[in-house]
A and B are shown apart, each in its own frame.
Chain A
Amino acid sequence: MKKNVHIRTIVAGSLRKPLLTPECGACQTSCQSACKTSCTVGNQTCSTLKK
């Protein structure tokens, strides 16, 4: 594949890959409240994949 010279991919995301199956619930409950340390979903990890 020809090397890109105008665009460099920093992160190849994978959002399309997961199926929309019910959440298993193993992950941390997210809290978006700024009066705690708000855990937005973007900085959460999947507890199942992590194992």
Chain B
Amino acid sequence: MQHTEEVKLIQAGDCCLAFDVNSGSLHELDTVAWNLLRRFQDSGDWPQSRQDAARLYGPEQVNAAAAEVEALHEAGRLFTPDPGWESYAPGPGPDLKALCLNVSHDCNMSCGYCFVPGQVRTGREIMPERVIRAALDFLLQSSGHRRLAVDFFGGEPLLNWAGIREGAAYALDRGPDRDWKFTLTTNTLLFDEDVLSFTLDHNFSLVLSCDGRPEIHDTFRRAHQLDGRPAPGGHPAVSANGVQQTSGQERLPNDDAFFQAWLNTDAVGLKTGHSSPASTTVNNHTAYRTSEIVARRLQDYFRQAAGQEHYVRGTYTRRNLDFTEDVRYLAGLGARSISLEPVVADAGQSFAIRDEDIPGIREEYFRLARFLRDRERDGCRISFYHFQLDLPGGPCAAKRLTGCGAGYQYLAVTPDGALYPCHQFIGHPEYCLGDLDRGITRPDIQEQFRQAHVFAKPACRSCWARFLCGGGCHAQAALQNGAALPGDLRRPYPLTCKLVQARLEGALYYLALGRPSGSLAP
């Protein structure tokens, strides 16, 4: 038994857990077994660890615990040897199976934490229907997969509702033998009966954005037009290059100075409760709070759309590291499928997550796990997306090692038909892979993405979470690390690694809390 064959020990509340990295098994330990394994991990000397633990707990207890450890090892469930996947080399396939269509670069909101580069946001382009059709033709021609996915994204995609309708209808018409999965990610401001009816009819999955408590949501999620409709005379216009652009709408500046000014006016009611006006003028720009309208949209949706696959998705920042309260708020609105994600932000931003926040975030995920299990015991099951681990099943080994499919299984398309590895690379021309007219013109970049698997990343090779994470987000590795291709793709962004590890510890604790009641040995 080698101590280098990883076991991750987790202490959460009064629960001691051991996660066996190479088998995916999860065990609960009593204090004797916990102490024994801690000593073994520290020293690597099994006989010595047993002797040391016996001085604390007596030989009878320690021998019994050690026998259980050894039996689990023999069964391939503890200190399991590495499965020998290090020589993994991705083959030429599988090929493209999903597109993210940025049908609208324009947005009716100006969220303070928006990751989209300024030149993309201010361009405000709308994807013409001919580009939508060309993108779907490209997907059909490029992919031999039966299951194809199209994510309508933005900006705010509902600013191009006609394009979404056209896209779904065109896909079904041109690919009747394919199994289509459509997803719409929306801030909900334009979500109405027509959208609901169409998305139900066409089996869309929905991602509905809301950050939780009103004072949290309103801190960042501001609108420059509350109803989101184009201003008078602001219908999409066609520019010289044929790409539609909206016009006539005021945009809020989206920088840290404006954000601080917005907060200083107490536009979100942080100082006064929630009595601030619905709109506030900051530096000559009128910004609107959106929490009330979004809450109404969500409640209407929950009443009318039971059964449709969806998630209410929020962002947490270092301003709400008590995000269990936001899950509680969303559950109170009626949400039963919730996802909260850490903000993607440059380290210099005042709201960006910092290294020093990680211990508290880990504890918050533990608190969230207890909250969710308590609600289940009260008869209310809430699915928190990142706690839905499938340890006994889950994806195949090849999938676990490749993780992110950006660049070759998944591409993002801009309104003018440019192809990028994913939505986060849009606005970074050095990562442009080609366009819909010429196809992939930079197969070299595409190959770098294909080869950026778990065992090609030194930090992942020794990480206990590698078979659950799959190697992390390529965009964060490439863009937030800040260096040039190709080294970045093989260097996951360290802060995100810590966040994912903390979240996975929470997920394992959540699984443990679902165990049958009853205690371990005395």
Indicate if the CB atoms of A6 and B33 lie closer than 8 Å: yes
Given A34-B496, A43-B385: A16 touches B83 (CB 8 Å cut-off): yes
Indicate if the CB atoms of A33 and B473 lie closer than 8 Å: yes
Indicate if the CB atoms of A34 and B344 lie closer than 8 Å: yes
Chain A residues positioned under 8 Å from B410 (CB to CB): 29, 31
CA distance A21 to B353 in the complex (A): 38
Majority SS at the chain A contact face: loop
Closest to A42 in B: B468
Chain A residues positioned under 8 Å from B199 (CB to CB): none
Chain A residues positioned under 8 Å from B80 (CB to CB): 16
CA distance A35 to B396 in the complex (A): 25
Indicate if the CB atoms of A7 and B33 lie closer than 8 Å: yes
Give residues 1-33 of A contacting B (CB, 8 Å): 4-16, 18-33
Mark B228-251 against chain A: 1 for CB-CB distance below 8 A, else 0.
000000000000000000000000
Give residues 332-378 of B contacting A (CB, 8 Å): 339, 341-344
Indicate if the CB atoms of B27 and A10 lie closer than 8 Å: yes
CA distance A26 to B423 in the complex (A): 22
Indicate if the CB atoms of A41 and B393 lie closer than 8 Å: no
Given A7-B65, A7-B69, A37-B339: A42 touches B23 (CB 8 Å cut-off): no
Indicate if the CB atoms of A37 and B207 lie closer than 8 Å: yes
Indicate if the CB atoms of B394 and A12 lie closer than 8 Å: no
Indicate if the CB atoms of A22 and B145 lie closer than 8 Å: no
Chain A residues positioned under 8 Å from B210 (CB to CB): none
Q: Is B198 an interface residue (CB 8 A)?
A: no
Given A6-B30, A10-B515: A45 touches B395 (CB 8 Å cut-off): yes
Mark B181-222 against chain A: 1 for CB-CB distance below 8 A, else 0.
100010000000000000000000001000000000000000
Chain B residues positioned under 8 Å from A13 (CB to CB): 20, 23-26, 77, 391-392
Chain A residues positioned under 8 Å from B65 (CB to CB): 6-7
Indicate if the CB atoms of A9 and B77 lie closer than 8 Å: yes
Q: Is B103 an interface residue (CB 8 A)?
A: no
CA distance A8 to B468 in the complex (A): 22
Chain B residues positioned under 8 Å from A40 (CB to CB): 386, 403, 468-470, 500
Chain A residues positioned under 8 Å from B390 (CB to CB): 42-45
Q: Is B467 an interface residue (CB 8 A)?
A: yes
Mark B393-412 against chain A: 1 for CB-CB distance below 8 A, else 0.
11111111011111001100
Query: Which of A10, A15, A33 lies in contact with B424, CB distance below 8 A?
Result: A33
Query: Which of B83, B97, B342, B393 lies in contact with A34, CB distance below 8 A?
Result: B342
| CB of A51, distance to nearest CB on chain B (Å) | 11
Q: Is B321 an interface residue (CB 8 A)?
A: no
Excluding A7-B28, A41-B394, 6 further A-B contacts by CB distance (< 8 Å) are A5-B64, A13-B20, A15-B397, A24-B94, A33-B344, A46-B394
Between A and B, 28 residue pairs with Cβ closer than 8 Å are A6-B64, A7-B33, A7-B69, A12-B392, A13-B25, A14-B24, A15-B23, A15-B400, A16-B76, A16-B80, A19-B397, A21-B398, A24-B94, A25-B97, A26-B145, A27-B395, A28-B98, A29-B405, A29-B410, A30-B404, A32-B471, A34-B341, A34-B344, A35-B341, A37-B207, A38-B341, A43-B387, A43-B390
